[in-house]
């Protein structure tokens, strides 16, 4: 592997192909997206594993780019959780890895990209957790809270006073 460092950027050459298609920990993705289709649950032919798949959409890299769409696939227990908790229109955060399949269409080869989900989190708050948390009374500050302040703490001022910009002194320049 050859690499060069340019300040805050690193350029890797001659290994892009091996990094992109290697099943090492380098192939990981976290994506915040909107669920476009309701998840579809299927089973493997031997009925041992469940598979859930759905389509998500996320913003393009630039403001003028159209939104991107990608298929998300979850297996086994995650597949069952996906079907129960997530629906069209939900905002989710998906953690997983990318898989690119090449499909031969006779005259051309088509590449399909899928996100193999390892974890999914709701970011819209529309789903409820399966186990409800016990209710806890809010903690209130005691009335004598001002007495608990250490003596070396100075209260912050709420007003903002702008500092005048210093003008550079050009008289001491040696040329």
| Residue 175 placed within a domain | no
Separation of alpha carbons 88 and 129, rounded Å: 18
What are the distances in angstroms from CA 27 to CA 60, 68, 100? 20, 19, 11
| Residue 17 placed within a domain | no
The reported pLDDT for the residue numbered 160 is 56
| Residue 174 placed within a domain | no
| Residue 113 placed within a domain | yes
- Does the pTM surpass 0.85? The reply is no
The reported pLDDT for the residue numbered 42 is 94
Query: Mean pLDDT, 10 residues at a time, over the chain (175 residues)?
Result: 43 39 67 94 91 94 90 94 94 94 90 94 60 40 53 58 63 67
CATH of the domain at 50: 2.40.50.140
Q: Are 56 and 114 in contact (CB under 8 A)?
A: no
The reported pLDDT for the residue numbered 78 is 94
């Amino acid at each position: 592997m050859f690499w060069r460092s340019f300040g805050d950027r690193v350029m890797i050459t001659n290994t892009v192909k091996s990094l992109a298609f290697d099943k090492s920990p380098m192939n990981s993705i976290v994506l915040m997206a909107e669920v476009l289709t309701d998840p579809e649950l299927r089973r493997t032919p031997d009925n041992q594993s469940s598979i859930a798949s759905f389509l998500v959409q996320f913003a393009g890299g630039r403001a003028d780019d159209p939104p991107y769409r990608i298929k998300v696939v979850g297996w086994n227990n995650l597949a069952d959780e996906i079907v129960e908790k997530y629906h069209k229109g939900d905002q989710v955060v998906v953690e997983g890895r990318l898989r690119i399949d090449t499909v031969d269409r006779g005259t051309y080869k088509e590449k399909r990209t899928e996100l193999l989900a390892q974890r999914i989190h709701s970011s819209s708050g529309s789903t409820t957790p399966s186990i409800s948390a016990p209710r806890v009374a809010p903690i209130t500050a005691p009335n004598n809270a001002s007495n608990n302040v250490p003596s070396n703490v100075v209260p912050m001022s709420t007003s903002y006073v702008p500092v005048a910009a210093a003008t550079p002194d050009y008289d001491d320049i040696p040329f």
